[in-house]
Amino acid sequence: MNIKNKIEINVVLFKRDLRLQDNEAIYNALSTGRKTLFLYVFEDMLLNDPHYSERHWNFIKESLIDLNHSLIAFNSEVLIVQSNINRTLQIIQETYKIACVYSHQETGIKVTYDRDKVLKRFLLNNMIQWEENVNNGVFRGLRDRNNWVEMWEDFMDEPLLPFRPKTGQLCSREEVAHLASFFHLPDLATDSDSPFQKGGTSIALKYMHTFFNERSANYNAHISKPLLSRRSCSRLSPYLSWGNLSVRQVWQEAARCIDQNKYKKQMEAFRSRLRWQAHFIQKFEMEDEMEFVSLNKGYRKLKKQTSERYIEAWKNGMTGYPLVDACMRCLKETGYLNFRMRAMVVSFFTHNLWQPWQKATIILSRYFLDFEPGIHFPQIQMQAGETGINMLRMYNPTKNGIAHDPDGIFIKKWVPELAELDTAFVHQPSRMTPMEQQMANFFIGKNYPKPIVNLQETRKHASDILWNMKDENTVIEENFRILQKHTLSNRKKSS
Ligand SMILES: Cc1cc2nc3c(=O)[nH]c(=O)nc-3n(C[C@H](O)[C@H](O)[C@H](O)COP(=O)(O)OP(=O)(O)OC[C@H]3O[C@@H](n4cnc5c(N)ncnc54)[C@H](O)[C@@H]3O)c2cc1C
Going through 271-427 in order, the beta strands assigned E by DSSP cover none
Residues in contact with 61: Cβ distance below 8 Å, sequence separation at least 6, in sequence order: 186, 188, 189, 190, 199
Q: What is the mean pLDDT of the chain?
A: 96
Nearest CA to ligand 1 atom 44: 277
C-alpha distance across the termini of the chain, in Å = 55
* Ligand 1 atom at minimum distance from 240 CA: 47
In this predicted structure, which of 2-6, 109-113, 126-130, 135-139 has the lowest mean pLDDT?
A: 2-6
* Ligand 1 atom at minimum distance from 360 CA: 1
Nearest CA to ligand 1 atom 37: 273
* 389 pLDDT above the threshold of 90: no
Q: How far is the CA of 165 from the centre of ligand 1 (A)?
A: 34
Nearest CA to ligand 1 atom 53: 343
pLDDT for the residue 2: 60
Higher-confidence residue of 441 and 2: namely 441
* 494 pLDDT above the threshold of 60: no
Q: How far is the CA of 374 from the centre of ligand 1 (A)?
A: 11
pLDDT for the residue 262: 85
* 353 pLDDT above the threshold of 50: yes
Nearest CA to ligand 1 atom 48: 237
Task: Quote the crossing angle between the two packed helices 373-383 and 358-367, to the nearest 10°.
Answer: 130
pLDDT for the residue 495: 42
Q: Mean pLDDT across the stretch 341-369?
A: 98
What is the share, in percent, of the chain residues with pLDDT greater than 90? 95
Q: How far is the CA of 208 from the centre of ligand 1 (A)?
A: 15
Tell me if 160 sits within 8 A of 249, measured CB to CB.
yes
Q: How far is the CA of 372 from the centre of ligand 1 (A)?
A: 9
Is 212 annotated as a binding-site member?
no
Nearest CA to ligand 1 atom 12: 375
Nearest CA to ligand 1 atom 49: 237
Q: How far is the CA of 237 from the centre of ligand 1 (A)?
A: 6
Q: Mean pLDDT across the stretch 300-313?
A: 97
Q: Please name each of the domains of the chain with its CATH number.
A: 7-135 (3.40.50.620), 202-279 (1.25.40.80), 297-486 (1.10.579.10)
What is the CA angle 312-190-201, rounded to 5? 105
Is 299 annotated as a binding-site member?
no
In this predicted structure, which of 35-39, 105-109, 389-393 has the lowest mean pLDDT?
A: 389-393
Q: Mean pLDDT across the stretch 436-449?
A: 97
| Residue range 7-27, pLDDT digits in tens | 999 999 999 999 999 999 999
Q: How far is the CA of 14 from the centre of ligand 1 (A)?
A: 23
Nearest CA to ligand 1 atom 38: 273
| Neighbour order of strands in the sheet with 79-83 | 79-83, 35-43, 8-13, 97-104, 129-133
* Ligand 1 atom at minimum distance from 239 CA: 49
Q: How far is the CA of 339 from the centre of ligand 1 (A)?
A: 6
Confidence band (pLDDT; 50, 70, 90) for 492? very low
Which residues have C-beta atoms less than 6 Å from ligand 1?
233-237, 240-241, 270, 273-274, 276-277, 280, 338-339, 342-343, 346, 368, 370-372, 375-376, 379-380, 383
Q: How far is the CA of 221 from the centre of ligand 1 (A)?
A: 17
Q: Mean pLDDT across the stretch 301-305?
A: 96
* Ligand 1 atom at minimum distance from 235 CA: 26
Positive or negative CA dihedral for 466, 469, 470, 476? negative
Measuring CA to CA, how many Å separate 147 from each of 152, 269, 304, 473? 9, 22, 39, 30
